[in-house]
Amino acid sequence: MGVAPYHICRPPGNVSQVVFHNHSNWSLEDSGALLSSGHKDYVAVQLQNGEIWELSRCSRSKRENISSLDYEYTGSKKEFPCVDGYIYDQNKWKSTAVTQWNLVCDRKWLAMLIQPLFMFGVLLGSVTFGYFSDSLLHFLLDVPRWQVPDHFFMWAISQSCLCSQYLKRLGRRVVLWATSSGMFLFGIAAAFAADYYTFMAARFFLAMVASGYLVVGFVYVMEFIGMKYRTWASVHMHTFFTVGTLLVALTGYLVRTWWLYQMVLSTVTVPFILCCWVLPETPFWLLSAGRYEEAQKIVDIIAKWNRTSSCKLSELLSLDLQGPVGNSPTEVQKHNLSYLFYNWSIATRTLTVWLIWFTGSLGFYSFSLNSINLGGNEYLNLFLLGVVELPAYTFVCIAMDKVGRRTVLVFALFCSALACGVIMVIPQKHYVLGVATAMVGKFAIGAAFGLIYLYTAELYPTIVRSLAVGSGSMVCRLASILAPFSVDLRSIWIFIPQVFVGTMAFLSGVLTLKLPETLGKQLASTWEEAAKLESENERNSSKLLPTTDNIGLEKTEAITPTDSGLGE
């Protein structure tokens, strides 16, 4: 929707003849494609009133001498702005948001805001709707320490302390219905926007509800999946996000008018809006809301489908059916961002982890958004760059338990950096090799982006684990806002996106080598245990002596295994 086709300034009257270099048989509608070489060429036209104009991309000039219509002209002429609009090449795109509101030349910066503002809406949506994962916090307080939830589960939970209290009472199903309805309504509103600012506002709110839909959707599924299969379930949920990318590429190929394209994609949520009420509410949320009998019915249905015996929630969780759920929930102390920088070692770890989050998001969106500039068919490029994500997530799921989290992450970051470097040396005429190399880079950065959720959760102790994952998620959202600007900078130099992503990926890979391996390690509950994990990684035989700060911190903030917090 935000692509800018080739264009020239519209003349101030009806055209009788068009001249471009030595050719005079072109129509004015095809003249935009004539300027695709990027040189400072122009199209000479003669109007029906006899005036001769030179039309370029962002200006037009009127010749004083109208005796002959020669392309080369050295006489005097007067330059005018494009007050009558532009003529766009429609060979590839019939209509885009750029052509709809003439977002080119001095208005180009408005087009550059379309994607970043959408990503900003995604950021606010993840914060706003992330709080709906709150009931998982109470559930996880009683999960044994050795059980580690998957990375997407941790991501959804990490948002749980960021939004207003009253929203959590609506339930998963209501929120899913509300957000999916919002996606449809705001999507249709964007398609029928009367002006640019209405379009941007509709897209912003569309991004917010779509992000909330994704967050709550993950939480909904994770609350039904047992610990044993939760990692694979989350990975396969993310693969359907990739399938959505493939459908976007296919829809874009078939529908070349932006508002119709927007309408088609907005109708995807209609079946879910109509059938949402068939889905049951999650037992965990029902328990947190005090609706014990409904929760018991859902558990009985689950047991029936799994052909196993059910269980009594009142006995399993020691519920007092006349009072609140179970025993009084353990009060978990809240911590601010400074706890991620409480000493030099932890501060270095936090900055490294944030850099990895930033690099993963920047690379993920840069590869996708830059697919239109790789050469060949733009839609096929986006489709292929989406396809490679499917094996990437499966690779992460298998390899992280075989060779370790850090090893896989370093390998993925270095591979993405290498791919960016290779793209820069491939001649543009060999675009097939460029697309293939971009696929390798997208595979690698997608693997790194998927793994960092889990790795971050395992690097930090219980008292700040959700804060670490949540802050990393915010950093990655900031990178997604900057990624479109990085791609737009290719107008200065075509390899700027590759330089940015490659440099960041290489630096992140080097710094990741200093992080400890967490495969097979017990989750830390205190900073002292986290420090010992790093000490083991450095193969230091001497044990880490507790410092005064560690002792004080442990006395005031340590959580026992029975009171363990998020992610345990």
The dihedral through the CA atoms of 341, 342, 344, 350 has a sign that is negative
Q: What is the pLDDT of residue 558?
A: 30
Q: Return the structure tokens found at 522.
A: 């017990």
Q: What is the pLDDT of residue 546?
A: 40
Q: Contact 157/222 with Cβ under 8 angstroms?
A: no
What does the pLDDT average to over 407-426? 92
Q: What is the pLDDT of residue 137?
A: 39
Q: In the structure, what pLDDT confidence band is assigned to residue 329 with cuts at 50, 70 and 90?
A: very low
Amino acid in position 376? G
Give residue-wise pLDDT tens across range 37-63. Answer: 445 578 888 888 888 888 888 889 888
Q: In the structure, what pLDDT confidence band is assigned to residue 200 with cuts at 50, 70 and 90?
A: very high
Q: Contact 137/157 with Cβ under 8 angstroms?
A: yes
Higher pLDDT pick, 129 / 401: 401
Q: What is the pLDDT of residue 538?
A: 60
**What average pLDDT is seen over the chain?**
77
**For helices 196-222 and 151-158, angle between their N-to-C axes, nearest 10 degrees:** 120
Q: Is the pLDDT of residue 108 over 80?
A: yes
Give residue-wise pLDDT tens across range 230-266. Answer: 767 777 777 888 888 899 999 999 999 999 999 999 9
Report the range of poorest mean pLDDT among 32-36, 288-292, 402-406: 32-36
Q: What is the pLDDT of residue 534?
A: 67
Give the range with max mean pLDDT: 150-154, 335-339, 473-477. 473-477
What does the pLDDT average to over 463-486? 81
Phi, psi (degrees; rounded to nearest 5) at 35: -95, 20
| Cα 163 from chain centroid (whole Å) | 20
Determine what percent of the chain is predicted with pLDDT higher than 70: 77
Higher pLDDT pick, 540 / 218: 218
**Distance (Å, whole) CA 323 – CA 499:** 60
C-beta neighbour count of 201 within 10 angstroms: 17
Report the range of poorest mean pLDDT among 110-114, 152-156, 285-289, 377-381: 152-156
Give the range with max mean pLDDT: 243-252, 368-377, 427-436. 243-252
The CA distances from residue 109 to 102, 106, 362, in Å, are 11, 7, 20
Phi, psi (degrees; rounded to nearest 5) at 242: -65, -40
What does the pLDDT average to over 268-290? 82
What does the pLDDT average to over 131-146? 39
The DSSP secondary structure of 274-336, one letter per residue, reads HHGGGSPPPHHHHHHTT-HHHHHHHHHHHHHHTTS----HHHHTT--TTSSSSSPPPPPPP--
Phi, psi (degrees; rounded to nearest 5) at 164: -70, 150
Q: Is the pLDDT of residue 147 over 80?
A: no
Q: What is the pLDDT of residue 55?
A: 86
Q: Return the structure tokens found at 166.
A: 């009253």
What does the pLDDT average to over 468-473? 78
**Owner of token pair 């989750």:** 523
Q: Is the pLDDT of residue 71 over 90?
A: no
